[in-house]
A and B are shown apart, each in its own frame.
Chain A
Amino acid sequence: MKNFVLFTILALTLLSGWAFAEEQANPPSLPAAEQALPAQPAPMEEAVPAVSEAPAPTLDTGDTAWMIVATALVMLMTLPGLALFYGGLAKRKDTLNTMAMSFVTYCIVSFLWIVYGYTFTFGSDIGGFIGSAEKLFLSGVTVESLSMTIPEFIFIVFQMTFAAITVALASGAFIERMKFSAWILFSILWMTLVYVPVAHWVWGGGFLAQLGALDFAGGTVVHVNAGIAALVGALVLGKRREASLKPSNLTLVVTGAGLLWFGWFGFNAGSAVAANGLAGVAFINTNTATALAAMSWMFTEWMHTKKPTVLGLASGAIAGLVAITPAAGFVNIQGAIIIGILAGIVPYFAVASIKPKLGYDDALDAFGIHGVGGILGAILTGVFADPAVNSAGTGLLYGNPGQLITQLIAVGVTIVYSGVMTLIIFAIARAALGVRVESEHEITGLDESQHGEKAYSL
């Protein structure tokens, strides 16, 4: 009986969401030129010739203030957000190592991004595939340099925080068995060979941007990309000796999930790169979808395993954040509601039903939540993108079925590229260092074997 009531609540919420969307779905006919606008404002070098008749862009102090805050918020997602979320889920003997993976990756990417990451991602486009090397070591970037209306230095750090969390996300699948040295090598190679090109394709004016793929804040670039790397890496690494999820400290997980949610406002609303109405849309969509995803995961689990778990609430929130990421600045609130509800259901079954059947050991469900949630969000962006919210995106519901195809292409390209490159990177790491710790070290725990420390001395 209780199950029936829960199901009815869920079904009603779902239906009301659909009904709203239907009402809104009177497709206005948009000129083709408007639909072809790139999802993301092009970098300075490109924007200048296009708007040569307009006055030169000037610094906007409001935009700048918001983007400094947003950048700091996104930093908070990796450290301590993700480190706590993953660290609390790891076994007691592996907690510190799991946190160290996020920590060291943030540091590595912080450095490599200013050396070459930024220029190869956002430098002038070369053949749709990579940025030019003109800003190696940030050469030519001065205190006066602008990206749109904000200082270029802020734009560089903002984008760096995205690169860092993308690499760190994949660690969730590799924990409790991967050598720390191999993880460092993986971070360097994966940021260089996977994140940088894919981010260029979508945000740096590369071929997926030219194709019109919509990715507001990183559904494809960040979550599908990292999720596939997680899956492939987990398959290469093999199962842990004790392939079970025994969270060492769920209170850390809840704290981490809360910080991720909080930081994600910078991630999604900051992706407007301005303190404007679009940032406001992205903000409310992010919060709405996340709240609904947390509830829908909890209710789904309540029906499926008879208990509404706290880990379920936290996991659902993360799945919701992931799924709304590509859509945040394109969909209306009804779209956000539906994306949120589905984000609590689809990744749940990917994690609870599909993973055990297929038997891969994605330790903390980096693929199940980020990969599956990211693919779901990227596809639904192609369905719900509302031109009244953002003229750059018109989805299936508003009369542009082609957008859905473009989204599928962008997702497909990312899956194939990230999958193949991750395989190659693991082959290099295995040849150079070996990727897996000795089984004795795995049993005693990676905190002690890799770092000579313990998370808890009680």
Chain B
Amino acid sequence: MKKVEAIIKPFKLDEVKDALNSIGIHGMTVSEVKGFGRQKGHVEVYRGTEYEVNFLPKIKLEVVIPDAMKDKVISTIIEKANTGNIGDGKIFLYSLEDVIRIRTGEKGEEAI
């Protein structure tokens, strides 16, 4: 099993979610996060004075999938979250030891 963690632009969330749903991913965890990479921050102007904002708002999307779906999920996220501009985000891929459904105690891919 794999865990895919994608940092994406907030406005791309709906598109990515719908696309993942359509290829059979029916569960995910989403959080509002802040951070920066090569894009660095941006500038906000209040009453004529500029202030640099270092951390930009992003969405962190986490999904757990069977190994076989790895390439399809990653290519779907890349396709839908891509704007071609700096700041589109990153995908982190982890190998996952186990998954347990709390209600039934099921383990492994059964529990995804």
Contacts and interface: CB of A to CB of B under 8 A. Distances in A.
A348 B45 contact: no
Interface string B39-81: 0000001111111000000000000000000000000000000
A309 interface: yes
23 contacts: A244-B49, A245-B47, A245-B49, A245-B51, A246-B51, A247-B46, A304-B48, A305-B45, A305-B48, A305-B50, A307-B45, A309-B45, A309-B46, A311-B46, A311-B47, A312-B47, A348-B47, A348-B48, A351-B47, A352-B48, A353-B48, A356-B49, A365-B47
A345 B91 CA distance: 48
Interface of A: 244-247, 301, 304-305, 307, 309, 311-312, 315, 348, 351-353, 356, 365
Contacts of A245: 46-47, 49, 51
A209 B50 CA distance: 43
Nearest to B50: A305
Interface of B: 45-51
Contacts, number: 31
B47 A315 contact: yes
Nearest to A306: B45
A305 B44 CA distance: 10
A311 B47 CA distance: 7
A348 B49 CA distance: 11
Contacts of A305: 45, 48, 50
A304 B48 CA distance: 8
A294 to B, nearest CB: 14
A356 B46 CA distance: 13
Nearest to B53: A246
A312 B47 CA distance: 6
Contacts of A353: 48
Contacts of B45: 305, 307, 309
Nearest to B44: A246
A348 B50 CA distance: 14
Contacts of A311: 46-47
Contacts of A351: 47-48
Contacts of A315: 47
A299 to B, nearest CB: 13
Nearest to A364: B47
